[in-house]
Amino acid sequence: MPEPSFEHEVAGVADRGLRRDRRRRPRHPLLDGVVSRIEVGREGSKDVALGEDPADLAVPEHDGGSDVTPAHDGGGFRDARGGFDGHEVGAHDVANGDHDLGEERSETRALTEALRAWFRPRRRRYPWRGATDPYAVLVSEVMLQQTQASRVAPAFERFLDRYTTVQDLARAPRDDVVRSWAGLGYNRRAVALSETARSLVEEHGGRVPRDPELLRRLPGIGAYTAAAVASLAFGEAVAALDTNVRRIVARVWAGRDAEEFAPADLRELAERWLDRDDPATWNQALMDLGREICRPHPRCDACPIAFGCRFLAEGAVPSPVPRKQGRFEGSSRQVRGAVVHALRRSGSSSLDAIARGTGFPSDRIREAVETLRRDGLVEAAPAALAGRPAGRVRLAR
């Protein structure tokens, strides 16, 4: 029996998981007859709910700046290297019983090679790129959860200067680690990373495991971070699917946005496309491509793999951009951040002093202290938990 083609795998995945199309846009032949509806899974809680508020939900960053070009205008497209026109791609890009498996593999290889070439000058853009120490990779990936790479870069180098090895981090008091996390936000990640270091020393001999399943058992490590660490640090052939990578996989191979697929189905497509010869480069390249080019409103004119993208070939319309988190100004997140910032400077303080120093009402300071205590960020005396102005609070040790 001939090996099933990648195109046929896409059709099978779509048939199992794609929800009914309500936008009435042109349909790819692979998706004909698909009418089933799914519930779209959310991110794993360990990967995204690491802010100061357990209810915080990560939302893909979209700055809406002037460098975001409008969606496709329906005309043809030819990349700067003279690649295929978008509609020419659509003409030959059809799955049927006679489709040549060698041609499909050739297309996959061409996409991968174009992706590699685009990423090559970006390989050393950030200080963690090319790191061979699994501990350094782990630190960078935790820092990059919900924080822009440009903010992470200086903090990453300072952090590793202070905690050079996982043993250094495991020995450090938690309040020191939280102080070292200044500027990155979502301070619960500092607590999780501190707990992870201690678990690695106590349970893994001070070594970061290469098995994604073992990595997922560590505090604050979800499916995405585990896959990223396994791939980047050890070369494990596993796809690291964050919001950006899922978007690219869905658009390139099925001509749809990721919201229309079950997460498991997108993972299956990604694993089929994964460059098993160099999974670290493949993962990092797609992460960068999703951040810079294939955003919610894509910049297709700058995309190195536009010549093989079904989303472009079909003139598909991007899904509406989800709303970001609520306003930060005056939010409970701002109050918690202000409390942590005050305790970083003073070490220990009373509720009254924190309220006067931050300008927030004492009742909001008390509520923030209670949630921070539950998250392991602060320690509070019984008087503080009772809301007494003289009650003392300090960073957890």
In the residue annotation, 39 being an active-site residue is answered as no
Cβ contacts of residue 141 below 8 Å, gap of 6+? 225, 228, 229, 232
Could you tell me which of 304, 301, 302, 298 has the C-alpha nearest to residue 255? 298
Amino acid, res. 175? D
And the tokens for 318?
A: 């991007």
* Residue 350 DSSP SS3: strand
C-beta neighbour count of 116 within 10 angstroms: 17
And the tokens for 254?
A: 């099925």
Read out DSSP for 276-309? TTSHHHHHHHHHHHHHHTSSSS--GGG-TTGGG-
Cβ contacts of residue 106 below 8 Å, gap of 6+? none
And the tokens for 128?
A: 């963690």
* Residue 140 DSSP SS3: helix
| Residue corresponding to tokens 């795998």 | 9
Residue pair 47/224 in contact (Cβ under 8 Å)? The answer is yes
DSSP 392: E
Q: How far apart are CA 130 and CA 1, in angstroms?
A: 42
Could you tell me which of 82, 70, 137 has the C-alpha nearest to residue 306? 82
DSSP 187: T
Could you tell me which of 93, 32, 69, 13 has the C-alpha nearest to residue 308? 93
Could you tell me which of 305, 262, 287, 350 has the C-alpha nearest to residue 41? 262
Query: Strand 392-395 relative to strand 378-380: parallel, antiparallel, unpaired?
Result: antiparallel
Residue of 52, 141, 236, 379 marked catalytic: 141
CA distances 369 to 177, 343, 355, Å, are 18, 11, 11
Q: Which positions are catalytic? A: 141
